Amino acid sequence: MRVGVPKEIKVHEYRVGLTPASVAELVAAGHEVVVQAGAGDGIDCPDAAYKKAGAEILPDAESVFKAADMIVKVKEPQQQEIALLEPRHILFTYLHLAADKPQAEGLMKSGATCIAYETVTSRTGALPLLKPMSEVAGRMSVQVGAHYLEKEQGGRGVLLGAFQA
């Protein structure tokens, strides 16, 4: 299979669908991987690391979608990415379809097979791809809460862990 990794374009999204280590595993299993130039910049994984892992670097998202059978992303596809999907594609990413009717309709219209990470279930009924994201969200909640406790954000200026009567 030919797997494609486009650069994430959603605002403030810096992650990437596959790391160089993941690319190396796919290549070792006999798959081909194409990665959009700069896709890993947000996590400090340069194109050279992807090349070393066996990926081909392509200049833009259009080239990645054209070359790949499966598209691996982190976030739900944006409208310009949905427009690049074809019935031959398999899209593998977080989708959150219930909250985004235009996205759901666009994906259905594309004819692509779309697999949401949040729906992948193990034999025991666990959600192995959702669990780590839930752990991240739980840890981030403390940081976000602390930010909003700051005076500049309208909070009381209280340090976490401090008790004030």
Q: Is 127 exposed, middle or buried (0-12, 13-18, 19+ CB in 10 A)?
A: middle
Instruction: Give CA 36 to chain center in angstroms.
Output: 14
Q: Is the predicted pLDDT of residue 42 greater than 80, yes or no?
A: yes
Q: Is the predicted pLDDT of residue 140 greater than 90, yes or no?
A: no
CATH 3.40.50.720 assigned to domain 2-119? The reply is yes
pLDDT (tens digit, 9 = 90+) per residue, 74-88? 999 999 999 999 999
pLDDT band at 22 (very low <50, low <70, confident <90, very high): very high
Instruction: Give CA 130 to chain center in angstroms.
Output: 12
Q: Is 29 exposed, middle or buried (0-12, 13-18, 19+ CB in 10 A)?
A: exposed
Cβ–Cβ under 8 Å, residues 75 and 81: no
pLDDT of residue 163: 60
* pTM, rounded to two decimals: 0.85
Domain boundaries, the chain: 2-119, 121-157
Section 66-70 average pLDDT: 98
